[in-house]
A and B are shown apart, each in its own frame.
Chain A
Amino acid sequence: MPSLDIANFLTVALDVQNEGYAGVHVSGGVAAATDGAMLVVADWGSEFLRGEGTISPRAVLALAALAEATNLGGIDVDGNRVIVVAQSTRYEERGGEVTGDFQTIPLPDFYCPHNPAVVHLVRNLTDAEESWVPLAENPVLKNLRTLRANDCVVLSGLYGEGYELFHPKTEGDTLYYYSVARLRRGLKLFGARARLSVRRSARGWLVFEDGYQKFAIAPFAD
């Protein structure tokens, strides 16, 4: 019984994070990764994700593999130190391989700098000063799959459920536009059945969320 949601978040986080903001940043039960222009956030609760610190990309790689392999009971972060509680399996004569007890696995310590800007970015997602307005519930994002990765898109202006959220950018389009490549990378966070809510800030940031996971993206501006 692997922790596939966690493994998927960590895989997307590894893809999104980059130098300057390296690693997955943990605080108050929330994990976040960013490159400054994209931000992925998961709120796993402080009972499951304890402590505060930065999980280095190396440790994230191992943690993602553990989550893909088995059920995780909890993650403790203290600076760059990561301790995972992972479920073992054992053989039972009648059932074959069955779930076993939870074991505590301290990962090797890998250095990763703490970047306070990440906390600031996460805070912005709920900051009233950013003037967030809800845009759409469960929009269609099919265009993002058919357009080329190096295309850019703008909001279509049709925000009812079931309408395409984006259309390709054309000359004279609105102020803010978004990279298809980036949108595709971040939206991998969500499964096929996720019911997405979309918000926009006054500065053109978009946030996609499905309850406990968020993907935020900064716009390009003309």
Chain B
Amino acid sequence: MSSSELAHFLNVALDIQATPYPGVHVDDGVAAATDGVMLVVKTFSGEFLRGEGAISPKAAKVLEALAEATWIGSIEVDGNRVTVTAQTTQYDEKAGGEVAGEYCEVKLPEFYCPRAPVARMLGVLTDESRGWVQIVENPRIKNVKEWSVKEFVALVSNPREGYELFRLKDIDDEHWYSVAQLRRGLRLFGKNSRLSVRRNAKGWLAFGDQWGYTFAVTPFVKHD
């Protein structure tokens, strides 16, 4: 009866977000968090996630706990003000125990959090001038889970469905990625996610799935 997917998204978002973009940024049904290098995004229905603003890390933690505790019916964001509807529980004599009750409004304390240009960040992910190309559907990323977090990896030369997407970095690679960063962002996706991977001309990678989750990461770049 908990909103465990919302709780999980907030957990990953809280891990990713950092100064100068603290918090979870909301705009038109989309929630995003970034540290400037990684970006996690979830597209909710506009009915579920309304308004525009920044949910501070403090409020995001409380929201995560509420989502872990119960079903969240909706979230309304107005600047730094966050109001959620959360399902109560009650005792039911016939059932002999706790059953779901009505939804009630919970206004979280207002915590200051600066706004970030979310729309611009998200725009980068779909900006055609940046040369995004689809590179593979549903690749394997098992290696990323096994290699040390200190390792760096690069894309295999011909990514294919069902085959490993990454190999360990070579000295000649032009773009490479941190295993630690990849692991943190890829936590976003569940076991049943069908991943679609895109890359842009600057080496950014974007992982998306059928549930509206996106994780994008910037590469380390070779400078001659």
A residues contacting B by CB (< 8 A) are: 56-59, 61-62, 64-66, 68-70, 86-91, 97, 100, 103, 105-113
Q: With a CB–CB cut-off of 8 A, which chain A residues contact B211?
A: none
15 pairs, A vs B, C-beta closer than 8 Å: A65-B61, A65-B64, A69-B58, A69-B62, A70-B111, A86-B109, A100-B112, A103-B107, A105-B109, A108-B86, A109-B90, A110-B69, A110-B88, A111-B89, A111-B91
Name A96's closest neighbour in chain B (CB-CB): B112
Q: Say whether A58 contacts B89, CB under 8 Å.
A: yes
Q: Quick check: is B68 within 8 A (CB to CB) of the other chain?
A: yes
Within 8 A of A (CB), among B200-222: none
Q: Say whether B88 contacts A68, CB under 8 Å.
A: no
Q: A65 to nearest B CB, angstroms?
A: 4
B residues contacting A by CB (< 8 A) are: 56, 58-59, 61-62, 64-66, 68-70, 86-91, 98, 101, 104, 106-112, 114
Q: Say whether A97 contacts B112, CB under 8 Å.
A: yes
Q: Say whether A64 contacts B109, CB under 8 Å.
A: no
Q: Say whether B109 contacts A58, CB under 8 Å.
A: no
Give complex CA distance A97, B110 in Å: 12
Give complex CA distance A150, B108 in Å: 41
Give complex CA distance A124, B59 in Å: 39
Q: Say whether A109 contacts B104, CB under 8 Å.
A: yes
Contact check: which of A62, A91, A105, A109 meets B101 at CB < 8 Å? A109
Q: Say whether B104 contacts A108, CB under 8 Å.
A: yes
Q: With a CB–CB cut-off of 8 A, which chain B residues contact A108?
A: 66, 70, 86-88, 104, 106
Q: With a CB–CB cut-off of 8 A, which chain A residues contact B111?
A: 69-70, 88-89, 97
Q: With a CB–CB cut-off of 8 A, which chain B residues contact A65?
A: 61-62, 64-66
Q: B213 to nearest A CB, angstroms?
A: 23
Give complex CA distance A23, B111 in Å: 28
Q: With a CB–CB cut-off of 8 A, which chain A residues contact B108?
A: 105
Q: Say whether A109 contacts B88, CB under 8 Å.
A: yes
Give complex CA distance A113, B97 in Å: 9
Q: With a CB–CB cut-off of 8 A, which chain B residues contact A103?
A: 107, 109-110
Q: B75 to nearest A CB, angstroms?
A: 14
Q: With a CB–CB cut-off of 8 A, which chain A residues contact B66?
A: 61-62, 65, 108
Contact check: which of A62, A66, A100 meets B110 at CB < 8 Å? A100
Closest 10 CB pairs of A and B: A65-B65, A58-B69, A69-B58, A86-B109, A109-B88, A108-B86, A88-B110, A65-B62, A88-B109, A111-B98
